[in-house]
Structure 1
Amino acid sequence: MSGGSDAGPLLTATGVVKSYRRGVWPARRAVPVLKGVDLSLAAGEVAGLVGENGSGKSTLMRILVGDLPADAGTVIRRGRLGYCPQQPVVYERLTCDEHFELLGHAYGLPGRAERAGRAEIYARLGFGRYATTRADRLSGGTLAKLNLGLALLADPEVLLLDEPYAGFDFDTYLKFWELVADRRRAGRSVLIISHFVSDAERFDRIVHLRDGQATEA
């Protein structure tokens, strides 16, 4: 659900529960992944979400963005969400420009605003020369830039990123963190799934998913 209050966190999750069915009938059973997770994001906060493989990080992020229903619990969001999934969701036959145009239309952005946002993203992430290249002809690193750029296009109040810099070279990795710092200064919230221990100092706080529960470092 979405809310419109001017006070409080930009995103709040309370008591989020999720299980998956495993096995074949009659031995099919429910395997709990999230067991009542609470999480909130304040304006201007950059939080990291960490945990072992299979701990439910991507599951939680998909629930936060509304891509996956929870079995129980509530999620309250304020403002626009930008979502960068772990695996890019693109149309192979569309160019980078066409992806931005399509998403800009979906967000209801005026054409001038969409073009300006697109130009800034190309400049900041350094892939403008691929503007007219189809997605199925992009390298993995450039596809990751497009994936992130689409999440950034509408200047969302809350940005949810699932391992966004997989495939980035070191220069783009540094540019990514400059973008994150800019969003913090602008009062935006960012939640990042990360496996890099060396990134810890870049976050305001770290949330650990362990045994279906969220704890803070």
Structure 2
Amino acid sequence: MGSDTRLRLAAVYKAYGRRTVLRGADLAVSAGTLVGVVGENGSGKSTLLRIAVGQLVPDRGTVRRFSALGYCPQQAVVDDTLTVAQHLRLFQVAYRLPRLDHAWETVDLLGFGAERRTRAGELSGGTRQKLNLTLALMHDPPLLVLDEPYQGFDWDTHQRFWQLAGRLRDRGRSVVVVSHLLHDLEHFDSVHHLRDGRLYQDGVRR
């Protein structure tokens, strides 16, 4: 295993009752790569990512993370009573960040700076997801695991997301994205198809 490996899943199995979702899935993510995980609905993509970040324990297999990570789940995990700015201050304390410059830059790039004093419960679904993504990125982790992070984005913000993902990759970050959109595939360095509980690599694109 190379010294630049940030995430490694080996022979991972996971079942829910009698339904086996993962059947020996393998994935290695190196520094400075943008990796796509694709598959049909119900194929186990979110389960795979939750295992990768430590939210779920596999039935068998090993998971190794070699750096701090940021995780953006498919459903926004925000407090409806807090404003955007209050969320950033709360996570600033959790991440022990001296400043919020990077967080506000991400807010501006995603185009919701005008909502900084708006409570999360009053945000549109797409803007809630922008906040969700910002919270995952704001501590600038070496490894990012993003589960369909652009749910509800308009086309302009969707394009901004990919610009941001490319910049992160070019700065040496490792970015794993679950996607179901065929036109997204051109953005990835490699694409891994989840079929019958295993990952099949489509090829390296850089």
Alignment TM-score > 0.5, same fold: yes
- The list of structure 1 runs, each at least 4 consecutive aligned residues, that deviate by more than 3 angstroms after superposition, is none
Distance in 2 between residues matched to 1:107 and 1:36, nearest whole Å: 34
Aligned-pair Cα RMSD in Å:
1.3
Corresponding residue number in structure 2 for 1:134: 119
Look up the SS of the partner of 1:143 in the other structure.
helix
Distance in 1 between residues matched to 2:55 and 2:85, nearest whole Å: 25
Q: 1:6 offset after TM fit, Å? A: 8.8
Q: Aligned ranges for residues 168-179 of structure 1 at < 5 Å?
A: 168-179=153-164
Q: Aligned ranges for residues 125-164 of structure 1 at < 5 Å?
A: 125-164=110-149
Query: Does structure 1 residue 48 correspond to structure 2 residue 36?
Result: yes
Q: 1:118 offset after TM fit, Å? A: 2.0
Look up the SS of the partner of 2:167 in the other structure.
helix
Distance in 2 between residues matched to 1:8 and 1:122, nearest whole Å: 29
Corresponding residue number in structure 1 for 2:3: 7
Corresponding residue number in structure 2 for 1:208: 193
From 63, 76, 81, the equivalent of 1:93 is 81
From 18, 26, 31, the equivalent of 2:14 is 18
Which stretch of the first structure deviates more once superposed, 118-127 or 178-187? Answer: 118-127
Distance in 2 between residues matched to 1:149 and 1:101, nearest whole Å: 12
Q: 1:121 offset after TM fit, Å? A: 1.2
TM-score of the aligned structures, taking structure 1 as reference length: 0.90
Identity of aligned residues (%): 51
Corresponding residue number in structure 1 for 2:102: 117
Q: 1:105 offset after TM fit, Å? A: 1.3
Look up the SS of the partner of 1:120 in the other structure.
helix
Q: 1:173 offset after TM fit, Å? A: 0.8
Distance in 2 between residues matched to 1:164 and 1:82, nearest whole Å: 12
Q: How has the CA–CA distance of structure 1 residues 72 and 147 changed in structure 2, closer, same or farther, with 3 Å as cutoff? A: same
Q: How has the CA–CA distance of structure 1 residues 70 and 141 changed in structure 2, closer, same or farther, with 3 Å as cutoff? A: same
Look up the SS of the partner of 1:10 in the other structure.
strand
Distance in 2 between residues matched to 1:205 and 1:153, nearest whole Å: 25
Corresponding residue number in structure 2 for 1:26: none
Q: 1:107 offset after TM fit, Å? A: 1.5
Q: 1:8 offset after TM fit, Å? A: 3.3
Distance in 1 between residues matched to 2:21 and 2:103, nearest whole Å: 37
Q: Deviations over 1:15-47 (max 9, x none)?
A: 1110002xxxxxxxx211001111010111001
Q: Is the radius of gyration larger for structure 1 or structure 2? A: 1
Query: Does structure 1 residue 187 correspond to structure 2 residue 172?
Result: yes
**Could you list the runs of 5+ residues in structure 2 that have no partner in the other structure?**
none
Q: Deviations over 1:141-184 (max 9, x none)?
A: 11111011111101011111111111111111111011011011
Look up the SS of the partner of 2:130 in the other structure.
helix
Question: Residue type of the partner of 2:55?
Answer: D
Q: Aligned ranges for residues 55-66 of structure 1 at < 5 Å?
A: 55-66=43-54
8 A contact 2:103–2:137 mirrored in 1: no
Q: 1:125 offset after TM fit, Å? A: 0.8
Corresponding residue number in structure 2 for 1:24: none
Look up the SS of the partner of 1:93 in the other structure.
coil
Question: Residue type of the partner of 1:17?
Answer: Y
Distance in 1 between residues matched to 2:62 and 2:84, nearest whole Å: 35
How many pairs does the alignment contain? 202
